[in-house]
């Protein structure tokens, strides 16, 4: 994950945090494992958005819509996400642990995508070779 997407994500989260006057909680509203999955999905969505034109009009709105899709998929509210993020922000050691898990998951995901791409290239090359052999 590049530095820009980390700052972009933090900027959006901080804006959401300041928009809501949430109190500090004794425990996070979202289960740790579920929160890791949500943050992983958010980082993957941000990485996908960064592949396009960074100055595209409406990009910020599109990202917020992606966040809402992720929240809906995981059946969590924006408020619960913000409360949970604020909880971990106040517990930096736990936040570091979360991001270590997220980093590992993203590395695994990247390896899976690379493997799938290699398989597609190999399959395409094999089909091409079979076609060339049949035409001889």
The string of pLDDT tens digits covering residues 63-104 is 888 999 999 999 999 999 999 999 999 999 999 999 999 999
Residue 133: is it exposed, middle or buried by C-beta count within 10 angstroms (0-12/13-18/19+)? exposed
How far does CA 114 lie from the centroid of its chain? 17
Q: Hey, what are 97's tokens?
A: 């642990």
pTM equals 0.65
């Amino acid at each position: 994950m590049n530095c820009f997407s980390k700052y972009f994500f933090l900027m959006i989260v901080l804006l959401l945090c300041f928009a809501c006057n949430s109190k500090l909680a004794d425990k996070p509203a979202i289960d740790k494992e579920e929160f890791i999955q949500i943050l992983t999905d958010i980082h993957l969505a941000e990485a996908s958005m960064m592949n396009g034109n960074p100055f595209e009009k409406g990009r910020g709105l599109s990202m917020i819509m992606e966040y809402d899709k992720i929240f809906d998929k995981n059946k969590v509210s924006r408020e619960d996400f913000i409360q949970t993020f604020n909880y971990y922000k106040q517990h930096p050691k736990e936040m570091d642990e979360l991001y270590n898990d997220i980093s590992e998951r993203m590395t695994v995901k990247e390896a899976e995508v690379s493997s799938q791409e290699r398989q597609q290239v190999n399959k395409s090359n094999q089909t091409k070779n079979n076609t060339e052999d049949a035409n001889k």
